């Protein structure tokens, strides 16, 4: 497993290139560059054969087609061996009837975990925390969320965030709290006094104030 030498160990930063890596997975060796041109959800879990992680993997698997519709791939990670990953995948299929359709990184040396800030001593020295990283088709880190060991993440929220970012990228808009596809979007703030004054009479906008306007797409 190798991590690009220019990547510093520590927390990655949003809107900067995601830390590069090449690592063994349950589908063979994978590199971050393999996902160029697609969105990628890279997510870590503390350990194989644990109940919370099992529920998350089942949910990711059940929503895999929804991610694919968004041109998005899934890639799991933990500090377990490939052998353990495969055994756990088979166990999930046997016990829950769910096939895991995405690869899982075996990060035994914690190189990828360290590059992405997944190792938090207060949470556990030898396991990656529960974290989710959304990387865009250009390899830029666009969003990241860390979760406590005791609580599973929301897969539908991950899908919602991808929808929101893709909508913002395509239309040059922002999205409000809890936004769902079809909801009104936020018009970016005006940058001149004239543009701010013109907003009140723009029929395409739902005008509240010069800094707060929404519209339908």
- Structural domain count of the chain: 2
Candidate list 53, 72, 158, 213, residue with the active-site label? 53
pLDDT at 129: 82
Is 196 in the same domain as 148? no
Is 102 in the same domain as 145? yes
Residue 165 lies in a domain: no
Is 54 in the same domain as 141? yes
Is 76 in the same domain as 179? no
Residue 97 lies in a domain: yes
Question: Which parts of the chain sit beneath pLDDT 50?
Answer: 4-9, 125
Is 11 in the same domain as 117? yes
Residue 54 lies in a domain: yes
pLDDT at 80: 93
**Total-model pTM:** 0.91
Is 36 in the same domain as 80? yes
Is 89 in the same domain as 185? no
pLDDT at 121: 63
Is 183 in the same domain as 131? no
> To the nearest whole number, what is the mean pLDDT of the chain?
92
Is 119 in the same domain as 198? no
pLDDT at 149: 86
> In terms of DSSP bridges, do strands 130-135 and 104-106 run parallel, antiparallel, or are they unpaired?
unpaired
Which residues constitute the domain of residue 207?
Answer: 170-215
pLDDT at 4: 46
On whether the CB atoms of residues 152 and 52 are closer than 8 A, the answer is yes
Q: What is the 3-state secondary structure (H, E, C) of 124-179?
A: CCCCCCEEEEEECCCCEEEEEEEECCCCCCCHHHHHHHHHHHHHHHHHCCECCCCC
pLDDT at 126: 52
Is 46 in the same domain as 145? yes
The 10s digit of each residue's pLDDT in 173-216 is: 999 999 999 999 999 998 999 999 999 999 999 999 999 999 99
Is residue 158 part of the annotated active site? The answer reads: no
């Amino acid at each position: 497993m190798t991590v690009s030498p220019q990547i510093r160990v520590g927390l990655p930063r949003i809107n900067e290139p995601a830390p590069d890596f090449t690592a063994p997975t349950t589908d063979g060796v994978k590199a971050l560059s393999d996902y160029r041109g697609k969105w990628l959800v890279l997510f870590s879990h503390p350990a194989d054969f644990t109940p919370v992680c099992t529920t998350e993997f089942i949910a990711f698997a059940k929503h895999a087609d929804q991610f694919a519709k968004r041109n998005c791939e899934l890639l799991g990670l933990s500090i377990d061996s490939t052998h353990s990953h495969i055994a756990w995948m088979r166990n999930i299929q046997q016990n829950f009837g769910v096939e895991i359709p995405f690869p899982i990184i075996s990060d035994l040396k914690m190189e990828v975990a360290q590059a992405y800030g997944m190792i938090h001593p207060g949470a556990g020295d030898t396991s990656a925390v529960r974290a989710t990283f959304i990387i865009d088709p250009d390899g830029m880190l666009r969003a990241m969320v860390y979760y406590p060991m005791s609580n599973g993440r929301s897969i539908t929220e991950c899908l919602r965030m991808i929808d929101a970012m893709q909508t913002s990228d395509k239309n040059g808009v922002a999205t409000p709290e809890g936004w769902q596809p079809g909801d009104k979007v936020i018009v970016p703030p005006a940058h001149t006094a004239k543009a701010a004054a013109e907003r009140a009479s723009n029929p395409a906008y739902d005008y509240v104030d010069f800094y707060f306007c929404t519209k339908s797409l």
